[in-house]
Structure 1
Amino acid sequence: MGSDPAPGTPAVREHHVSPADPGRAAVGRPRTPGPVAAVPCLPAADVFAALAGGPHGLTPAEAAARQARYGANDLPAAVRGGLGRRLLAQFTDLFAVVLLVASAITFLAYLLGRPRDAATLELAVAILGVVLLNAGIGFAQEYSAERTAESLQAMVPHTCRVLRGGEPGELPARDLVPGDVVVLEAGDAVPADCRLVRAQEVAVNNAALTGESDAVARVADPVPAGAVLDARNCVFMGTDVVAGTAEAVVFATGTATEFGRIFRLTAAAPRQQTPLQRQVAAMARRVAGAALATGAVVFALRVPSGQPFVDTFVFALGVMVALVPEGLPATLSVSLAIGVRRMARRHALVKRLLAVEALGSTSVVCTDKTGTLTQAEMTVVRLWANGVPHPVTGVGYAPQGEVADAAPVRELLRAAALCGNARLVPPDGRDAWRVLGDTTEGALVVAARKAGLDPAAEEARTPRVAEYPFDSVRKLMSTVHRAADGTYVAYVKGAPLELLARCTAVGRDGAPVALTDAARTEVAAAADGMAGQGLRVLAVAARRVAGPRPPIGDVESELTLLGLAGMYDPPRPEVRDAVDACRRAGIRIVMVTGDHPLTAEAVARRVGIVRGPDPTVVTGGRLDALDDGGLDALLAGSAELLLCRVSPEHKMRVVTAFQRRGEVVAVTGDGANDAPALKHADIGVAMGASGTDVAREAAVMVLLDDSFASIATAVGLGRSVYRNIRKFLIYLFSHNIAELVPILAATLAGFPLVPITAVQVLAIDLGSDVLPALALGAEPAEPDVMDSPPRPRRERLFSAAVVGRILFLGGIQALGVCAVFFWHIHASGIPYADFTKDTPAYREAITLVQAGIVVSQFFNALAVRTDRQSVFRAGLLSNPWLLAAGGFGIALMAAVSYAPPLQAVFNTAPLTAADWAVLTGFGALLLAAEECRKRLLRRHPAAAKEGNR
């Protein structure tokens, strides 16, 4: 008598749900309720009754009524803001807000001024133009980096075969309703959560839900009560049928499915801010606060001097504009976009710009196993027969390689290939060699091909007449075949201990001999030796039988053991070097997988994640028993940690626990079950080739080659991006000091005009500085980028070393431009009070200030390219884009100085050759001072290390 079931899930026997059920449109619909959880326990006839259906399916009228009641069998599309909303979001950046306010106030000052000053209006329009330019660049970069595929819907098959009114037909999967009878066969994707009512040798791949890559058998018989996901007579949306045929009754659709549960979990997971987002936000608050405070102080100091109120206000606004790095948002966006393109060339597609830098902060990688560390292709690597091991070469499904001394194991491989349903598919121009069916059986087929056998020809000569499918109780699979002489032979494969217990003989030199206790011990030792190497071991046996369909007890008794096959999913060859690189970089790697602990540990050892004798191996059941404190202690105390048999909830909990400890967490995954953790992590990394669309949607980075090695490469690029960001921050903020100090000096000296106008500041920030800053953002990665530990999560972008360097370089520039300004003002011999905006000496002086900043920034760009290495050793010509950008800035300054139209806009005057020589000398002095500082750092390694932070 509980609450109504969720939409898409009928009640057992009571088949009514109000059309007004408020959960229908909600992402957070509840899970399958208790009554439907009983469906796996019922006989097939009662299943139809419980779901108010029948073996011939629903009538069209009933199906339409249920469609109206439960809704479509699909998942809500990913919610994305419209283009207009996403563009407006670009104006919420604090720098943009400050500039918009400044523009509005400046325009108000123009309206209130008497007479109105056209220069004030030009300033208001210029500031507004800066905001629009930054917003346009940011929007364009974000839009080009994001992918807008509706991934979750793509996971659901578009059509399926259904019985409606007793008639078979095909209809869109979204039209399925609870009670429908669907027909499934090998190769089909399961369209909804279903209870099997007829099953013939059915096996499914549940990797998208559970993370386990092995095919699992399914039956139509009732099973004991338990979790629906564990029911062996149920199949679930988003999984694949790899063998057999079946009829099944739909009991859950849409977000009421197990797949929908993961969708709800993913939707509820918050998207984490990257470290750079937090640091840039904090920096913006501090800079904006400092700009407003400084402008207010300057305004308060100049008002008592008798200057007109509006002029004083505009003067204070100029101070504020001088402190705000107008070009920073655009420079940051484009620099990150350069990182995105570099990563794409290295098979890592980044969907969010800020994720580029966050990769460089990664301190923990929680990695999946199958497909990321391994090739997701089971491979037989060792056979055992006649008491002798036979190594097998070659990797993957391509039948390339050989079996050592193949003659003694041909009968073993012939039997193993015939006792299975997998089929090897050759390349078709788009796909490489692949297997249809169970991957373990596919590996045996490939091994048979390597031994010179043709499984298809063997099947034709010895056709199958009966099959006894694998189940978890017997742990065996058997097939019966008709031999060429008209007799019948049975082939059996399965778990070594189970099969060995049913054997009475063992093959020796092509003939059966009695299986003595000593021989049993030898076989068991061989199987244990393979398992100890991390191999999955299968035993294969045969016997003659009396007829085409003997009782299963006769088939699977008094067998002759043919031998053993050991196989594994081979690691990707490049992964070990990538793991070593991560270790050098101080990045901890934790394997998080749905596979068996022994399998996980074997793979972890092969790729170098585990090197010690006693790694900590924890299953999902143990995680459930730990409270948050216990989990924190586990993560802190285990250097080599493997988490196995975990659920999506477990993965999210582990990620959250690492983040509580201050770690920056990257999570890899390929299945739908990985999606919640991918979204919740600081960096979600999905597989591009083998991964599911839901995983790719939840992640911020997609590995186009599915390789863990690409993660290590991306981390190195991310670290390089962060270093480059610091370089152009030093470059940009140092000249802000050179713009501010002359204004403050003029105020304190009682000079009535500004040494540099707000329009000139904007021209420097956007015209002369953006391109060199972008060129600094494109600096290649330094060789030692992966030889230091990740920076702390709470490390400030403006560390003491960075601020010190800004003050050092900015102070030298400020002294130079103050010197040329006041030298020129004093050389004119005109009293301060007589200066106006049109005084030639004043126009020449402010031109010298603007040109001085531009020239010194050219040398400054060369200086900040390296942290402690001499720029001459790095090579002055090694970044030609920087030289070109600096040359463009100087050329633009020359145009401002000499072109009459620009002179009218900026109130500038022509400079002499002597003026340029003096300014160049000040710039060279800055570079020399920075080279001296770096030399001191190289002599003191401890100081150098701190200076790199």
Structure 2
Amino acid sequence: MGTGTPVLTPGDGGRGPTAPSGTRAPVVQTLPAEKVFAALDTSPRGLASADAAARRDRFGPNELPPAGHRGLWRDLVGQFTDLFAVVLLVASAITFLAYGLQEPRDVGTLQLAVAILGVVVLNAAIGFAQEYSAERTAESLQAMVPHTCRVLRDGERRELPARELVPGDVVVLEAGDAVSADCRLVEAHEASVNNAALTGESDAVGRTADPVAAGPVLQARNCVFMGTDVVAGSAKAVVFATGAATEFGGIFRLAAAAPRQKTPLQRQVASMARRVACTALAIGAALFAVRVPTGQPFVETFVFALGVMVALVPEGLPATLSVSLAIGVRRMARQHALVKQLLAVEALGSTTVVCTDKTGTLTQAEMTVVQVWAGGVPHAVSGVGYAPVGDVADPQPVRDLLRAAGLCCNARLVPPSDRQGWRVLGDTTEGALLVAAAKAGLSLAAEEAAAPRVAEFPFDSTRKLMSTVHATTGSRGYSAYVKGAPQELLARCTAIDWRGERQPLADELRTAVTTANDQLASQGLRVLAAASRPLADSHPAQDEAESDLTFLGLVGMLDPPRPEVSDAVDACRHAGIRIVMVTGDHPLTAEAVARRVGIVRGPAPIVVTGTRLDDLDETRLDGLLAESGELLLCRVSPEHKMRVVTALQRRGEVVAVTGDGANDAPALKHADIGVAMGASGTDVAREAAVMVLLDDSFASITTAVRLGRSVYQNIRKFLIYLFSHNIAELMPILAATFAGFPLVPITAVQILAIDLGSDVLPALALGAEPPEPDVMDRPPRSRRERLFSAAAMGRILFLGGIQSLGVCAVFFWHIHASGIPYSDFTEDNTVYREAITMVQAGIVVSQFFNALAVRTDRQSVFRIGVLSNPWLLAAGCFGLALMAAISYLPPLQAVFHTAPLNAADWAVLAGFGALLLAAEESRKGWLRHRPGSRKEGAP
């Protein structure tokens, strides 16, 4: 192709190609299909590879531009505009002002102001690093699910990344595909698209390959656009706009610039943190009101109360939450579960029901025909997988059957490459039919050349059939070939090919076909039937093409269960998660597979077909779902699947739904967790879901649930860790105030040092805690459960109370042991400085043991291994090292008014810390062994 021919230029919005001279070429939508190729400088064979590469260099990749980023410095500045950051900045400014008003000036006030500012800077740095990391993670995870499309290049059908599309490419579209660029249709077979992404209208709109009048390209019925979905039929189209030049490109830029929304969990934590901040303010005001009447200087008392208030605010909580969620997302991605929304991480932990399909999720999605039935005689088929290696026993009687089934397919077998073996491009069931035809000695390429397809009626879930019309030689003119569900097809047949002869389909022959179908299905085989009829017209009505058919036979194929699924199903049972199989297959086939993987273990599962669902009203459906037996839903449509999901949610269940087809999209969107197949699923299903299984395996769902439960537990762990030691910081101050001691047991600067040195890092390490061994042995968490449940609050008070008793004991023990009256103590008194050093060190040491204690809810920390979270140990050791430096280094002693501790002091503090861990281990042991502990949620 010459480069001087008019080619569409990005930026014209699909209005038509622009010639090099700048004159407008004919508008592409007004041209007949056969002239579109010349207008866009391509051909029905597609582009040559060299030409496609040149156009890619000219037009760039077919991808939408990223949203305009504010820049790193703007992100950094944004960290200082957060509510907590503003509060702390104001507090720091007030403290600086108080320092300026003091006479004489107290260097401690200046140190406090600097410490508060240090908290702001540290939290801003952590928040900035987390957001930057999250953006990079999102980009890398998105690349794990490449969007592909089927393209004609050099006359061959290929599967390419969507970003490699260029204007002039000829693409092949089928139901379930997402349209990857703006295209002009040149063939359309009952095609319809969902333009909701562009127009907001969710109803499917029919498409045609015929020319239409000039006008807005978005209204052209012979065009399809990036971001829309093919919901029915099939088509071929020529790309005329890619990337930013598409209609969707402009909309995307507006949407990408919209601010990121917080998840409900993040909002819950932020709301809780604000309430805690208000509580801290009230406590600071109360301390100020109590200490002023005792004769303490006004400014010093105000500064102290302000420092205590600031120290009790959980400044780093939102950042720590986001880090924990991001860690969960990355962990799931490593286990082949790509989570597209942080909210899904939380919801996974409370999943109570999984509605799973069969093919590809429970099975390997490598259909293999193992038996063909025709004329009352079964014919075994050897060989496994998609390699056309094997034989059909006595193939001659079944060649007409396999020829009809093979011609009525849109899939294509792809020969092995250096990286992959034989594979199917398209539907796996159709791939199995193509392989069986090859094993019977048929060359479908030659058959297609002898009987070219002239019309198609695509498969849909309502009629459960697909039909194609072919031009044939001889007096018949044309023939229709139909394949689909045996019951549906048999009802449309009036004759049967019985041992080489066409006979009327009498009742006894119908019974023979039904019996053969049931026998194949009872073996766990998926069964398809094929039929044909002669036609006089090349474009008959669908009802004509699919009536008065001659039944040719049955094809039984096996999709082996995935070996890892049985263990995953067993894990779900232990976790209290109900598994409901929802499939379009025959009940016998569904039950056979369900028994193989362990979904069905009892003798009489509840098997419900789509026909029976139609007869049930809401009350009876609710009653059916409330039954405790093993449930299989078979021969169901997308509408049935959606109805079942809604009914389960109405009962208060948290429902995860798996799906791979375009018709699964409504149920995937409506479910609490929509799970799409990444390898075999359609683009529409992946777009509707919030989680994508990169390996299509049910076992990955179980792993994701396990990690989702772990994420929620980790969030609660670091909340318990943070607030329990906040109690230990506050109680000595209250005790000293009400005991009449004139000085404080711990200064505001010391409290801030704890927040800076030994709060944030252990909390982040707890957010990375691996799942507990028994996390899947507990029942699902209630969707109404709050982070601060009664059990969590009880644990905070339990741990905080022990820490408070320890630090209060060491403080007053050290004060009383000196024999000095309270009134004689001053800030420079050595005993007082040693006592407040022991209080600070006691909190830091107890934090180290507290971090170990909260690592598990019920299991002993010694069972999971004290060394199994090295980041937590490193964070704790850093806090202890900082405390030692504050105690022993003279410059830090001057800042914090501390004194060196001796070995006996450290031994006493370590003993209190060990006592805390022992008390918590005893509490966990009691929880594990008390009656009914399995039925209750973890604290």
Return the alpha-carbon distance in structure 2 between the equivalents of residues 631 and 160 of structure 1.
51
CA contact (8 A) 1:90 1:135 kept: yes
| 1:308 equivalent in structure 2 | 297
Taking the aligned partners of 2:491 and 2:509, their CA distance within structure 1 comes to 10
Q: Which residue of structure 1 lines up, in the alignment, with residue 705 of structure 2? A: 715
Mapped pair 1:280 → 2:273 = no
Contact 2:190-2:456 at 8 Å conserved across structures = no
Post-superposition offset of 1:313: 1.0
Distance 1:723 1:554 in 2: 61
The answer as to 2:749 corresponding to 1:763 is no
Residue deviations 1:184-227 (CA, integer Å, cap 9, x gap): 7689986789997x759x587979999xxxxx9998799xxxxx
**Cα offset, 1:139, TM superposition:** 3.7
How far did 1:818 drift? Answer: 1.6
Matches within 5 A, 1:323-334: 323-334=312-323
2-structure distance, mates of 1:346, 1:718: 12
CA distance in 2, matches of 1:678, 1:715: 17
For 1:714 and 1:55, how far apart are their aligned partners in 2?
48
Q: Deviations over 1:147-199 (max 9, x none)?
A: 25999x997989999xxxxxxxxxx99999xxxxx977689986789997x75
Contact 1:208 1:692 in 2 (8 A): no
Q: Match for residue 896 of structure 1? A: 886
Q: Could you state the TM-score of these two structures normalised by the residue count of structure 1?
A: 0.71
Measured after TM superposition, the shift of residue 714 of structure 1 is 1.0
Structure 1 residue 750: Cα displacement: 2.8
Task: Pick closer, same or farther for the CA change 1:633–1:183 going to 2, 3 Å.
Answer: same
Contact 1:145–1:352 (CA under 8 A) maintained in structure 2: no
CA distance in 1 between partners of 2:191 and 2:431 (Å): 15
Q: CA deviation at 1:598?
A: 7.9
Label 1:420 to 1:369 Cα distance change in 2 as closer, same or farther (>3 A): closer
Alpha-carbon distance in structure 1 between the residues aligned to 2:926 and 2:543: 85
Q: Tell me the SS of whatever aligns to 1:941.
A: coil
Q: Is it true that 1:582 corresponds to 2:572 in the alignment?
A: yes
Maintained 8 Å contact 1:272/1:682: no
Alignment of 1:917 with 2:893, yes or no, is no
Length-normalised TM-score, structure 2: 0.72
Cα distance, 1:861 vs. partner? 3.0
Q: Considering only aligned residues, what root-mean-square deviation do their CA atoms show, in Å?
A: 6.1
1:565 matched to which residue of 2? 555
When the two structures are aligned, how many residues end up with a matched partner? 848
Counterpart position of 2:605: 612
2:735 to 745, 752, 764: 745
With over 3 angstroms needed to count, the CA separation of the structure-2 counterparts of 1:632 and 1:321, relative to structure 1, is farther
After TM superposition, the structure 1 = structure 2 runs for residues 7-406 of structure 1, keeping only pairs within 5 Å, are 82=70, 95-96=84-85, 98-146=87-135, 147-148=138-139, 199=187, 202=189, 238=228, 274=263, 276-351=265-340, 355-365=344-354, 372=361, 379-392=368-381, 397-399=386-388, 403=392
Contact 1:378/1:396 (8 A) holds in 2: yes
Q: Give the CA deviation at 1:98.
A: 4.5
Give the equivalent residue in structure 2 for 1:539: 530
1:328-349 CA deviation, whole Å, 9 max, x = no partner? 4454444444433332321123
User: CA deviation digits over 1:898-922, x for unaligned, max 9?
Assistant: 1222222222111112212222222
Task: Please state how far the C-alpha of 1:884 moved relative to its aligned partner.
Answer: 4.3
The question of whether the paired residues in 2 share the 8 Å contact of 1:275 and 1:793 is answered with no
The Cα shift of 1:743 comes to 0.9
Which SS does the other structure have where 2:373 is aligned? Answer: strand
Query: Counterparts of 1:939 and 1:321 in 2: how far apart (Å)?
Result: 41
Q: Secondary structure of the residue that 1:752 maps to in structure 2?
A: coil
Asked whether the equivalents of residues 145 and 351 of structure 1 are also in contact (C-alpha less than 8 Å), the reply is no
What one-letter code is carried by the residue in structure 2 that aligns with 1:132?
A: V
CA contact (8 A) 1:813 1:856 kept: yes
Question: For 1:382, what is the secondary structure of its paired residue?
Answer: strand
Q: Distance in 1 between matches of 2:933 and 2:457?
A: 66
Instruction: Note closer, same or farther for the CA distance 1:743–1:414 as it changes in structure 2 (3 Å cut).
Output: same
**Which residue does 1:455 correspond to in 2?**
443
1:459-498 equivalence runs, <5 A? 459-460=445-446, 464-465=450-451, 467=453, 469-471=455-457, 476-477=467-468, 494=483
Q: In the alignment, which residue of structure 2 is the partner of 1:16? A: none
Task: Supply the distance in 1 between the matched residues of 2:170 and 2:790 (Cα, whole angstroms).
Answer: 67
Cα deviation 1:504-537 (Å, max 9, x = unaligned): 77464xx658678444542354346557877342
Query: Amino acid of the residue matched to residue 847 of structure 2?
Result: Q
Aligned residues of 1:75 and 1:255 also touching (Cα < 8 A): no
**Partner Cα distance (2:390, 2:195) in 1:** 31
Mapped partners of 1:834, 1:728: distance in 2: 41
Instruction: Check 1:853–1:655 CA distance in 2 against 1; reply closer, same or farther (3 A cut).
Output: same
Give the percent of matched residue pairs that are identical in Structure 1 and Structure 2. 65
Following the alignment from structure 2 to structure 1, what is the Cα–Cα distance between the partners of residues 934 and 497? Answer: 70
1:805-820 aligned at under 5 Å gives the runs 805-820=795-810
User: Does structure 2 conserve the Cα–Cα contact (< 8 Å) formed by 1:186 and 1:437?
Assistant: no
Check if 1:523 corresponds to 2:523.
no
CA contact (8 A) 1:417 1:448 kept: yes
The offset of 1:741, in angstroms, is 0.9
Amino acid in structure 2 at the alignment position of 1:522: A
Q: Which AA in structure 2 matches 1:103?
A: S
What is the distance in 2 between the residues matched to 1:553 and 1:869? 65
CA distance in 2, matches of 1:317, 1:635: 61
> Does the CA-based 8 Å contact 1:937-1:944 persist in structure 2?
no
Aligned equivalent of 1:793, options 763, 769, 783:
783
Q: Secondary structure at the match of 1:615?
A: strand
Letter in 1 for 2:797: L
Q: Secondary structure at the match of 2:338?
A: strand
Structure 1 residues 817-826 or 94-103, which shifts more?
94-103
Question: Which whole-Å CA distance do the structure 2 matches of 1:391 and 1:751 have between them?
Answer: 93
Contact 2:346 2:708 in 1 (8 A): yes
Secondary structure in 2 aligned to 1:722?
helix
Letter in 2 for 1:821: F
Unaligned runs of 5+ in 2: 1-11, 16-25, 40-61, 154-163, 198-204, 212-219
Distance 1:174 1:375, change over 3 A: same
Q: Which runs of structure 2 are paired with 1:486-885 in the superposition (5 Å)?
A: 494=483, 506=497, 508=499, 512=501, 517=506, 518-519=508-509, 521-527=511-517, 530=520, 535-539=526-530, 563-567=553-557, 572=562, 574-575=564-565, 577-588=567-578, 612-615=605-608, 617=610, 645-646=637-638, 664-666=654-656, 668=658, 683=673, 685-691=675-681, 700-885=690-875
Please report how far the alpha carbon of residue 114 of structure 1 lies from its aligned counterpart in structure 2 after TM superposition: 3.0
Distance 1:847 1:371 in 2: 63
The CA deviation at 1:291 is: 1.0
CA distance in 2, matches of 1:765, 1:618: 63
Deviation of residue 767 (structure 1)? 1.6
Kindly indicate whether the alpha-carbon contact (under 8 Å) linking 2:192 and 2:206 is maintained by their aligned counterparts in 1.
no
Question: Is the partner of 1:110 in helix, strand or coil?
Answer: helix
Give the SS at the match of 1:537: strand
Deviation at 1:315, TM superposition (A): 1.4
1:504/1:876 CA distance change after superposition, 3 Å? closer
In structure 1, C-alpha distance between the alignment counterparts of 2:878 and 2:892, rounded to whole Å: 16
CA distance in 1 between counterparts of 2:382 and 2:924 reads 55
Deviation at 1:302, TM superposition (A): 0.8
Give the C-alpha shift of residue 408 in structure 1: 5.9
In structure 2, the partner of 1:42 is none
SS across alignment from 1:756: coil
Looking at structure 1, the residues matched to 800 and 757 of structure 2 have their Cα atoms a distance apart, in angstroms, of 19
Looking at structure 2, the residues matched to 422 and 235 of structure 1 have their Cα atoms a distance apart, in angstroms, of 22
Question: Is the contact between residue 276 and residue 358 of structure 1 (CA under 8 Å) also seen in structure 2?
Answer: no
Taking the aligned partners of 2:505 and 2:37, their CA distance within structure 1 comes to 63
Aligned counterparts of 2:890 and 2:550: Cα–Cα separation in 1: 101
Q: Matches of 1:207 and 1:391 in 2, distance apart?
A: 43
Question: Could you say if the C-alpha distance between residues 285 and 385 of structure 1 is closer, same or farther in structure 2, counting changes exceeding 3 Å?
Answer: same
* Distance (whole Å) between structure 1 residues aligned to residue 260 and residue 351 of structure 2: 16
The CA deviation at 1:608 is: 6.7
- Contact residue 684 and residue 701 of structure 1 kept, 8 A: yes
